[in-house]
Structure 1
Amino acid sequence: MRDITDPRMLRAMAHPVRLRLINELGLHGPATATQLADRIGESAANCSWHLRQLAKFGFIEEAEGGVGRNRPWRWVPMGNRWGGADEPPELMQAGSELNATLLAQELAARNRWDEQRQTDDTTWRHAAFSVQNVNWLTADELKALEDELVAVLTRHNGRITDPASRPAGSRPVRMVGWAHPEPEPTPRPPSPEA
């Protein structure tokens, strides 16, 4: 797990095209800028530029087997963590921008699932789920819950980089979770008496 402490790295990843490129390389393996352009609906030149920006910060790297414009890129399989409790304001702002972009893309993917789920396999329709909950926790309990959820959500991460370990019939499954305390209520000024 890499702790990102440079706001430039967060901003490099926060671009929607770059996140789609990382996603494509992570899910489907090495590809050239031209192949990625076809998959995500962007120009090859634009994809090439964004790939170089991602490579500059170590999110992706050149894969073997290519030359010139036909060089493939691959995702560097490393988890990234940001958003520590005592981070400087510039890092906090860059992290907020990245979080907003990530969540927008995840919500769009969730909405796409809603649009097409009735045509998907019945087994997958029954397996997919959404859950929402509000509970009363201490900060220590919330941290323990994070540790448990991360362990569950990352249990099968080895399958991302090792296609041979994927069971027959498996598909990529998107999982998103966040937990935050409700803001403290703002006291209301007393009502003026009439």
Structure 2
Amino acid sequence: MEPGEREGEGADAAAGAAETADPERLKALSHPLRRKILRRLAAHGPATSTTIGEALGENTGTTSYHLRQLEKYGFVEEIPERSAGRERWWRPTRGPRDVRMPAAGSLAAADRPVLAEVLRLGHAEDMALLSRLPEEYERDREWARLSRGFTHMTREGLAEFFEGYLRLLREHGFGPEDAPPDARPVHLRLFTLPADED
């Protein structure tokens, strides 16, 4: 997911983080077109349902409906000063940019499939990005950077490392409306897996 937010998983949301534990809010993120709309707004800044529809190959009625659903659950907001008549301008909601998925055990059994679908969609998006890495790395190493790591950590140390990574994103990142002219939208991913299960 890339709605102009940093997505993380974990039950311990840090200060400034917002956990998406509401099942209805999770359902809003489980629709592929809504995720594309969020990524579009995060990468290219404010847009109307018409301009988003043109960019994504969808009709305006469809994108308008999904924008209203995203607004209902707090992921996007209208920009009243830019909207006029029937033309409404949208942007990612301002506020916490670190949105965390709940632990599966914190959800009712009936809501866990929704979380699984959100994570499945995110995994598919991540795999599509990963498949682009060799070509992008060859084209422009200044923007396509990579690192592979291996170390031993304690549970507490790993949690601290993760929070430090998110602090660096907040320190060095910009939203689409406040980015300097030489900034580009950049996909960033961090995941950790225990190696003793290999």
TM-score class, shorter: 0.7 to 0.9
* Contact 2:104/2:112, CA 8 A, preserved across alignment: no
Match of 2:131 among 88, 106, 111: 111
Q: What is the CA distance between 1:90 and its match in structure 2?
A: 4.6
* Contact 1:153/1:175, CA 8 A, preserved across alignment: no
Match of 1:175 among 185, 188, 198: 188
Letter in 2 for 1:98: V
* Contact 2:26/2:115, CA 8 A, preserved across alignment: yes
Greater gyration radius: 1
Tell me how far apart the structure 2 counterparts of residues 68 and 111 of structure 1 sit (CA, whole Å). Answer: 43
Q: What is the CA distance between 1:14 and its match in structure 2?
A: 2.1
Tell me if 1:160 matches 2:179: no
* Contact 1:63/1:73, CA 8 A, preserved across alignment: yes
Per-residue CA shift, 1:66-86, capped at 9, x if unaligned?
245421112103321222485
Greater helix fraction, Structure 1 or Structure 2: 1
Q: Which has the higher contact order (CA 8 A, sep 6+)?
A: 2
Residues 61 and 39 of structure 1, relative CA distance in 2, 3 Å threshold: same
* Contact 2:44/2:176, CA 8 A, preserved across alignment: no
Tell me if 1:138 matches 2:151: no
Structure 1: 5+ residue stretches without partners: 186-194
Residues 127 and 91 of structure 1, relative CA distance in 2, 3 Å threshold: same
* Contact 1:5/1:91, CA 8 A, preserved across alignment: no
Tell me if 1:62 matches 2:82: no
* Contact 1:13/1:98, CA 8 A, preserved across alignment: yes
After TM superposition, the structure 1 stretch with the greater mean CA deviation from structure 2, 88-97 or 1-10, is: 88-97
Tell me how far apart the structure 2 counterparts of residues 60 and 95 of structure 1 sit (CA, whole Å). Answer: 20
Structure 2 residue aligned with 1:34: 50
* Contact 2:78/2:90, CA 8 A, preserved across alignment: yes
Q: What is the CA distance between 1:56 and its match in structure 2?
A: 0.9
Q: What is the CA distance between 1:115 and its match in structure 2?
A: 4.2
Structure 2: 5+ residue stretches without partners: 1-16
Residues 85 and 109 of structure 1, relative CA distance in 2, 3 Å threshold: closer
Structure 1 residue aligned with 2:3: none
Tell me if 1:128 matches 2:141: no
Q: What is the CA distance between 1:178 and its match in structure 2?
A: 1.2
Q: What SS is found at the alignment partner of 1:154? A: helix
Residues 85 and 146 of structure 1, relative CA distance in 2, 3 Å threshold: farther
Structure 2 residue aligned with 1:72: 89
- Work out the percentage of aligned pairs sharing the same amino acid: 28
Deviating above 6 A after TM superposition, structure 1's stretches of 4 or more consecutive aligned residues are none
Q: What is the CA distance between 1:11 and its match in structure 2?
A: 1.6
Q: What SS is found at the alignment partner of 2:175? A: helix
Per-residue CA shift, 1:144-177, capped at 9, x if unaligned?
22122212233223x21543x52x4321111001
Residues 114 and 51 of structure 1, relative CA distance in 2, 3 Å threshold: farther
